[in-house]
Amino acid sequence: MLDKFITPVIKPLLTPIVATLHKLGITADQLTVAGFLIGMLALPLLAFELWYGALAAIILNRIFDGLDGAMARYAQQSSSAGGYLDITLDFSFYAAVPLGFILANPAQNAIAGALLLAAFIGTGSSFLAFAISAEKFQLDKPQFKYKSFYYLNGLTEGTETIALFIALCIWPQQFVLLAGIFATACAVTIFTRIHGGYHTLKQLESTK
């Protein structure tokens, strides 16, 4: 929901950093992989209840995630392969964070963590599946033209997810409550994406 507002603010801030990294010969794919490896450090850090260390890993991962896309555009390296690498590693990272909280306290966090993971699968699959059909119909991406594929909007997007992760690291004792609230919001996103996506595609098919 907030991505379309946050991204235009952040993108100009990344340009000087990207320009410097480009001069050093660093590629967008290298930034993607480096950010993923840093982000995955959050898993053991969370499992051992090193909350602020995990928070640092999460924030760095998100910085790298912004840098890789900015680098791809700056260096004109945008590609389907790079977009594929980025989104698959992103979702692996997203899944690792709830898993870390589950490992930290299985008795308390397992059910809420499982619900959160299920919600992530629903939100991810609902827009990735639509992206396949959007490519077929060559739909425009008016709000996310910088993305490698079509992003179907929703109540819970990247910005909201990272806000959740930050909140969980600051208030880990509230994991069950926060995960439950976010999973519910994800359920709304899943419903609206499936409903909107289905009817959009039906309408497009009827006009062909």
Exactly one of 65, 68, 90, 140 is catalytic; name it. Answer: 90
Q: Is 90 a catalytic residue?
A: yes
C-beta of residue 34 within 8 angstroms of C-beta of residue 61? no
Residue 140 falls in which region: left (phi positive, over 0), alpha (psi -120 to 50) or beta: beta
Q: Which amino acid is at 137?
A: F
CA atoms within 13 A on the CB side of 151: 19
d(CA 34, CA 41): 11
C-beta of residue 33 within 8 angstroms of C-beta of residue 67? no
- Residues carrying an active site annotation: 90
